[in-house]
Amino acid sequence: MYSHKNKLLKGFSSRYNVNRLVFFEETGDIFSAIEREKEIKGWRRSKKLRLIESTNPTWKDLSEGWFN
């Protein structure tokens, strides 16, 4: 998140000014995390929006205050 917020990485985040964490899931297994990421990436935008709004209806930046 620090890299995204400070635009330290070239690519999607810096190009489209993506710097707010609105959803995340925790897992202890990298393979299940990758599988879940692929699953969500395959969803329609409307389904992704419903997922975010089910846990964060105001789209609050969940990383707020991490780097103060």
Domain that holds residue 8: 2-55
Domain membership of residue 67 (yes or no) is: no
Domain membership of residue 23 (yes or no) is: yes
Domain membership of residue 32 (yes or no) is: yes
Residues near 61 by Cβ (< 8 Å), separated by ≥ 6?
Answer: 20, 21, 22
Domain membership of residue 26 (yes or no) is: yes
- Structural domain tally of the chain? 1
Domain membership of residue 63 (yes or no) is: no
User: Which pLDDT belongs to residue 65?
Assistant: 86
CA 39/CA 37 separation, integer angstroms:
5
CA 64/CA 56 separation, integer angstroms:
14
Domain membership of residue 64 (yes or no) is: no
User: Which pLDDT belongs to residue 10?
Assistant: 87
For the chain of 68 residues, list the mean pLDDT of each consecutive stretch of 10: 84 86 94 96 97 97 86
Domain membership of residue 29 (yes or no) is: yes
